[in-house]
Structure 1
Amino acid sequence: MHIVDDVPELDAAVGEPGQERALTMVLVLDGFLDAGNAAARAAQHLVDLGEGPVVATFDVDQFHDYRARRPAMSFVRDHYEGYDAPRLVVRLLRDTGGTPYLLLQGPEPDNRWEAFTRAVREVVERFRVTRVVSMGSVPMAVPHTRPIAITHHANDPGLLIGESAWRGELRIPSSAQALLEVRLGEWGHAAMGFVAHIPHYLAQLDYPKAAAALLEHVEKAGRLTIDLSDLLVEAEEREVEIARYLAANDEVNDVVIALEQQYDAFERAEESGSSLLAEDQPLPTGEEIGQQFEQFLAGLDGPDADQP
C-alpha cells in the first residue's frame, strides 16, 4: 500500500497530532455485497459530486484474481486499448457543507484478507479516522413497492442508529468487508455499516433507490450532508421503467403482488405484537428439525431421487 503524504487538503482535514477532529471513512467494496449495484452506485455518486485527490492506494495485484474477475478492455479494429485496470484507493472528498471525509472504494480482495485488514488499519491510524462506515446490499424476497429495508451492524452497540430486524444468530458467507469490521473492533477502532435489502427480481439491475437509501443512512452515521437530488431523479426514472415492465408481464407482476401481501402481513404482525405461527402449535425442537432434515437428505438418495 502507498500513502500519499503531499496532499495539503489532507493535512487540513486530519489536523495536527493531538487535535480532536472527527474524520469518517466510507467503505464500499464491489463484488459480494452489491445486489442491484446499490453500494457501488452510491460510492460513484459521492465521487461524481466532486472528485477529490487519492491519498492512499493498495497494490491490487496482491489481492485480485484476474482469471475470476477479468477486467474489461477494448479491441479497436486491429489492436487492444483502453484496459480498465482494477483500482483500490482511498480518496479525500468533501460533503455539501465542506466537511472532509474519506472514501475507500474498489473491488473486494479475492485473497489475503488479513493483509488487507492490516493495510486498512494503517490508513485508519495514519489519518486518525474516527469512524468507518460501510455500505452493502443483498437480494431478498421483498417488493420494490415498499420502503427499502436496511440492516444495521457495528462492532460497538453504541454506534447503532437503528434496531436490527434479525433475531438470534445467522450463519452467513463472510466477506472482506465484514472481516474488516471485526478486526477494527479488535484493534479499538469504531466501524459500522448498512446493508440494503434489494428485491431479488431486481438484483441484476442498477437500483438507485437503494443507493439513495444507503447514503441517507451514511449521512446520519457519518454526520455528513450529501446532495441526493440527481440520484433520486435517477431512482424515479427506474421506478417508471419497472412499472412499465410489470404492466407488460403478468407473471412477474403476480410475484410482486404476492410479496406485497407477505410484506404487509408481517408488518401488521409486528405492529400488533402477534405471531404468524398457527395458534396452539408448539415450536419443533432442534432435534425434531434435525430428524426431518436427515429424512429429507436420505430421500435424495432413494429410488425416486431422480423424480421431480
Structure 2
Amino acid sequence: MQDNSRRMYELEYPAPEMKPKNGTTLVVALQGYADAGQAVDSSASHLLSSLENSPVAAFNNDELIDYRSRRPAVRISNHEVVGMDELTLGLYAMRDSAGNPFLLLAGPEPDMRWNAFTDAVIDLSERFNVSRTICLYSAPMTVPHTRPLLVTAHGTADEITRRHFRVNSNMTLPGSASLQLEYVLGSKGRSVAGFTAHVPHYIAASNYPEATLKLLRAVETAGSLSLPLGSLEQDSAKMMTLLREQVDDSGEIAAMVQSLEQSYDEEIESYREDNPEALLPGATEATDADALAEEFERFLASVDKPADPRDGEDDSSDISGDGEDPAPGPDDRDS
C-alpha cells in the first residue's frame, strides 16, 4: 500500500488543457538561490498577480522543505497566534496577455529530495507537453546601475540563448534544484535555458525592479509570450531616480560607480568584438535580413500573381486604384 505522505505532489482536478501548437513553455522561478535584488521571487509574484492563472499541482512541503532554514513568519495579536505565512511550492497554468498558455513553477526551492523533485517536474513536463524550460536566476555582480542591466544565458536551447550574452569560460558554482533540473533535462536532450540577471552588488539586498523587468523580457522573447510589464517599467524608473539622487549626494559612491562603468564598457566592447551577432544589453532585436527578404519575395509574388478570371473585373489584385491597369508584372517594375 502506497504511503500518501511520501507523495511528491498532488494534481488539481480537473487538469487544464495545455496543448499549444508549438508545445508548452515552462518558467521555473524558485526562491532562495541566486536571487539578488529579489528578482526571481518578484518575477513569479508579478506573473501570478497580473495574469490569469490556476493551480495545476501542489508539492508536498513536508517532503521538500526544512522549516528551520526558512521559518515562516507568525503573527501574534493580543497574546494569541492569529496567522502564519504559508510556504507554497506549486505549478500553475498561466495565460499571457494574448491568451497563450504557459506553465510557471514557483515557490521556495526544495531543501531536500532534489532527485525526486526533479523526476516529479519532468513527469509533469511530459504530462503537459512542455517543449522548452526557462529557469530564472539573479546574481550580485560588480556592475554599475548606470549601464543597461546584463542578462546572461546558458543551456541547450541554442535558438534561445545564442543572441544573448553568454559567458564563454569554465566555472564551478554551488548547486541548486533549478540547476539540477537544467542538467537532467539537458542530458535527456530537452530544450532548456537559464537566464541570470546581473544585479549591482551594492543593491543586491534590496528589491531591484530593473532586474525583474529584464528577466521577464527575456522570458517574453524566449517563450514567444506577451507579458504585462508596464508597472515594472514604472517601478524601475522610480528606483533609478532614487539611485541617481544618492550618487549625486556622495562623491565616494560616484567614484565607485565611475570605476564600475569603465570596467563594464571595456567588457562589453571586448565581447562585441568576439560576438558581433550577439544582442547586447541596451540594444533592440534586429530584424533578420533573410526573413525580411523572404517576406518581401512573398509580397511580390502575391502582387505578381495573375488574376483569376472567375473573380470578375473587380479583382482585388488590382492595386492601381482605378480598376483599369493590371498590377505590374516582373518586366514592368523598375530595376
TM value normalised by structure 1: 0.81
User: Which residue number in structure 2 is paired with residue 240 of structure 1?
Assistant: 241
Say which of 5, 8, 12 aligns to 1:4: 12
Question: Is this contact kept in 1: 2:154–2:194, CA < 8 A?
Answer: yes
**Distance in 1 separating the partners of 2:167 and 2:46:** 29
**Distance in 2 separating the partners of 1:30 and 1:6:** 28
**Distance in 1 separating the partners of 2:137 and 2:269:** 28
Question: Is this contact kept in 2: 1:93–1:101, CA < 8 A?
Answer: yes
Q: CA deviation at 1:272?
A: 5.7
The DSSP-based 3-state class of the residue aligned with 1:197 is strand
Question: Is this contact kept in 1: 2:65–2:111, CA < 8 A?
Answer: yes
Q: In structure 2, list runs of 5 or more residues that go unmatched.
A: 1-8, 275-335
Are residues 1:37 and 2:45 paired? no
Structure number with the bigger relative contact order (C-alpha 8 A, sep ≥ 6) is 1
1:25-174 equivalences under 5 Å are 25-174=26-175
**Distance in 2 separating the partners of 1:272 and 1:126:** 44
Q: CA deviation at 1:185?
A: 2.0
**Distance in 2 separating the partners of 1:268 and 1:158:** 23
The DSSP-based 3-state class of the residue aligned with 1:138 is strand
User: Which residue number in structure 1 is paired with residue 295 of structure 2?
Assistant: none
Q: CA deviation at 1:115?
A: 1.0
Change in CA separation of 1:254 and 1:94 when aligned onto 2, cut-off 3 Å: same
User: Which residue number in structure 2 is paired with residue 249 of structure 1?
Assistant: 250
> Alpha-carbon deviations, 1:62-115, whole Å to 9, x = none?
111111111112111211122112110111111111101111100111121111
Question: Is this contact kept in 1: 2:97–2:226, CA < 8 A?
Answer: yes
> Identity of paired residues, percent?
36
The DSSP-based 3-state class of the residue aligned with 1:196 is strand
User: Which residue number in structure 1 is paired with residue 207 of structure 2?
Assistant: 206
Q: In structure 1, list runs of 5 or more residues that go unmatched.
A: 274-308
User: Which residue number in structure 1 is paired with residue 19 of structure 2?
Assistant: 14
Structure number with greater Rg is 2
> Alpha-carbon deviations, 1:46-74, whole Å to 9, x = none?
11112411011111111111111111121
User: Which residue number in structure 2 is paired with residue 220 of structure 1?
Assistant: 221
The DSSP-based 3-state class of the residue aligned with 1:219 is helix
The DSSP-based 3-state class of the residue aligned with 2:139 is strand
> Alpha-carbon deviations, 1:235-286, whole Å to 9, x = none?
111111111222233322221111112212333444567xxxxxxxxxxxxx
RMSD: 1.7
The residue type paired with residue 256 of structure 2 is: V
**Distance in 2 separating the partners of 1:227 and 1:197:** 22
**Distance in 1 separating the partners of 2:14 and 2:147:** 47
Question: Is this contact kept in 1: 2:10–2:58, CA < 8 A?
Answer: yes
**Distance in 1 separating the partners of 2:83 and 2:250:** 39
Question: Is this contact kept in 2: 1:161–1:221, CA < 8 A?
Answer: no
**Distance in 2 separating the partners of 1:74 and 1:163:** 44
> Alpha-carbon deviations, 1:120-151, whole Å to 9, x = none?
01110111111111111000000011111111
Change in CA separation of 1:68 and 1:89 when aligned onto 2, cut-off 3 Å: same
Q: CA deviation at 1:163?
A: 4.5
Question: Is this contact kept in 2: 1:196–1:210, CA < 8 A?
Answer: yes
**Distance in 2 separating the partners of 1:201 and 1:48:** 28
> Alpha-carbon deviations, 1:29-61, whole Å to 9, x = none?
011121001111111111111241101111111
The residue type paired with residue 110 of structure 2 is: P
- Aligned pair count reads 266
The DSSP-based 3-state class of the residue aligned with 1:53 is strand
TM value normalised by structure 2: 0.75
User: Which residue number in structure 2 is paired with residue 175 of structure 1?
Assistant: 176
